[in-house]
Amino acid sequence: ILNGQILGLDDSKKLSKKKIRELDALIKKEAKKYVILEISVDQILELGIKGAVHFGMIQVIKELEADFGLIDYEKIDIDIPSDSITKGDQNSNSIAAASIIAKKYRDDLMIEIGNKYPGYGFETNAGYGTKKHLEGLEKYGIIKGVHRTNFKPIINMLGE
């Protein structure tokens, strides 16, 4: 929840890592309130990607104690008035801020996981099956609690 407009916010996919770090610090300093919620691999397996995204959005809105929800593209069932905004991270300062905080958190988490499990390329993986990551899976295997067993390359590895 922002106190006012923060200049320079945009879709996090359009910003450099340096700009994301700068804006992340500024948003956290200037925001009225923000929440970071991490969804576990088990929750994603149970709820599916879309279900996990909706669950996460609902939990964040509750923790923020928001009185209005600005939702990036999705339509979710919440107990407060809300608006679904197409290309929300380009058209809403609040959604752009949330996108930037989430991306910085995710990138830092991937670096941490990469340090713990070298050889998979987690530190340069943005959540997609990169060549280095797929090679790491072949060479080192699946990491329980990190890899989703419903990810197609892993399904293929498991022969399911």
Average pLDDT over residues 133-142: 91
Query: pLDDT by residue (tens digit) across 19-58?
Result: 999 999 999 999 999 999 999 999 999 999 999 999 999 9
C-beta separation of 17 from 103 below 8 A: no
CA–CA gap between residue 68 and residue 83 (Å, rounded)? 8
Helix (H, G, I), strand (E, B) or coil at 22: helix
For position 89, what pLDDT does the model report? 94
Q: What is the band of 116 on the pLDDT scale with cuts at 50, 70, 90? A: very high
Whether the pLDDT of residue 128 is over 70: the answer is: no
Does the model's pTM come out above 0.85?
yes
